[in-house]
Structure 1
Amino acid sequence: MELSNKSEYALLALLELASRYSNGESLQIRQMAVLQDIPNRYLEQLLATLRRGGLIKSIRGAKGGYVLARDPRKITLLEAWSCIEGVESITPKLDHNSNTVDSQLIEEVWQEARQAANSVLEGYTLQDLCERRSRHREKELMYYI
């Protein structure tokens, strides 16, 4: 299991939307792109995927943009990651046709590792990321004072 650029950018965009959820503030693509240093065109594609996955909503009009579709406390990192990477990335199939018993054993251990990673991602929400970011920023401010 690896964090691809695609997933990282999507999580960064969701983090920005989550941080504005309580204010009801929408963000436009160019704002998110600047805040998180994500190429505009790539971000457009990611946001379209997240919208189709039901994680965000688009708002039309001059003050339009994107907002989270649900409370950030209810969107897990696993849900966001699977929306971007696809369900197959969460539950890959074991290859029971491996050539050897040794290959099967390695595949079984790899499956356990994926399940452990999925469990960790299921335990964190977008709100958790926002809170962690706030704590890190506070530490940075304390360091510079």
Structure 2
Amino acid sequence: MELSCKTEYALLALLELACHYSDNEPLQIRQIAAQQNIPDRYLEQLLATLRRGGLVRSQRGAKGGYLLSREPWKITLLEVVSCLEGLDAKPSENNNTSKTVESAVVEEIWQEVHQTANSVLQGYTLQDLAEKRDSRRQLDIMYYI
């Protein structure tokens, strides 16, 4: 399994919004794009998708921008990935009578991989990402004498 560029950029944008959640002030696309090195136009499309998915909300006006629709600890990574990639939790229903034993075994393993990945993504929230980032930054601090 591979992390798509679309999902990575969306997670970075949501992480930026999560870090400013307590400010209760919307962030503009250009602010998020500059902070996370995401192309403005692409970010605009991603945020529109996330808004339709109910993960962010937009605010119009001079001080407008985007905010998380709920607390960062209530938004799981699985929700984000599902919103962007359209993941379906149900296995594909193919004609089971024409399957070989080998293809059935491969499908069983693939379903296990899918369920495990979903379980991991369900276990992490945007708040968890922010905390991991903050702890990593703390480790990167070097003191010079």
* TM exceeding 0.5: yes
Could you say if the C-alpha distance between residues 41 and 98 of structure 1 is closer, same or farther in structure 2, counting changes exceeding 3 Å? farther
Query: Aligned residues: percent identity?
Result: 64
- TM-aligned CA deviation for residue 62 of structure 1: 1.0
User: Residues of 1 paired with 2:33 and 2:65: CA distance?
Assistant: 12
Task: Show the 5 A alignment for 1:5-16.
Answer: 5-16=5-16
Task: Show the 5 A alignment for 1:62-81.
Answer: 62-81=62-81
- TM-aligned CA deviation for residue 100 of structure 1: 1.7
- TM-aligned CA deviation for residue 97 of structure 1: 5.8
Could you say if the C-alpha distance between residues 45 and 92 of structure 1 is closer, same or farther in structure 2, counting changes exceeding 3 Å? farther
Corresponding position of 2:92:
93
- TM-aligned CA deviation for residue 61 of structure 1: 1.0
User: Residues of 2 paired with 1:48 and 1:5: CA distance?
Assistant: 16
Aligned residue for 1:57, secondary structure, equals strand
User: Residues of 2 paired with 1:44 and 1:127: CA distance?
Assistant: 23
- Cα RMSD of the aligned pairs, angstroms, is 1.5
List runs of 5+ in structure 2 lacking aligned partners. none
User: Residues of 1 paired with 2:97 and 2:4: CA distance?
Assistant: 28
Q: TM-score, normalised by structure 1?
A: 0.92
Corresponding position of 1:25:
25
User: Residues of 2 paired with 1:137 and 1:97: CA distance?
Assistant: 54
Corresponding position of 1:42:
42
Kept in 2, the 8 Å contact 1:72–1:126? The answer is: yes
Corresponding position of 1:107:
107
User: Residues of 1 paired with 2:61 and 2:121: CA distance?
Assistant: 35
- TM-aligned CA deviation for residue 98 of structure 1: 5.8
Kept in 2, the 8 Å contact 1:94–1:111? The answer is: no
Q: How many residues align?
A: 143
Kept in 2, the 8 Å contact 1:17–1:68? The answer is: yes
- TM-aligned CA deviation for residue 26 of structure 1: 1.5
User: Residues of 2 paired with 1:19 and 1:48: CA distance?
Assistant: 20
Q: Deviations over 1:76-125 (max 9, x none)?
A: 0000110011133x444154366421011011101101100100000000
- Which residue identity is paired with 2:28? Q
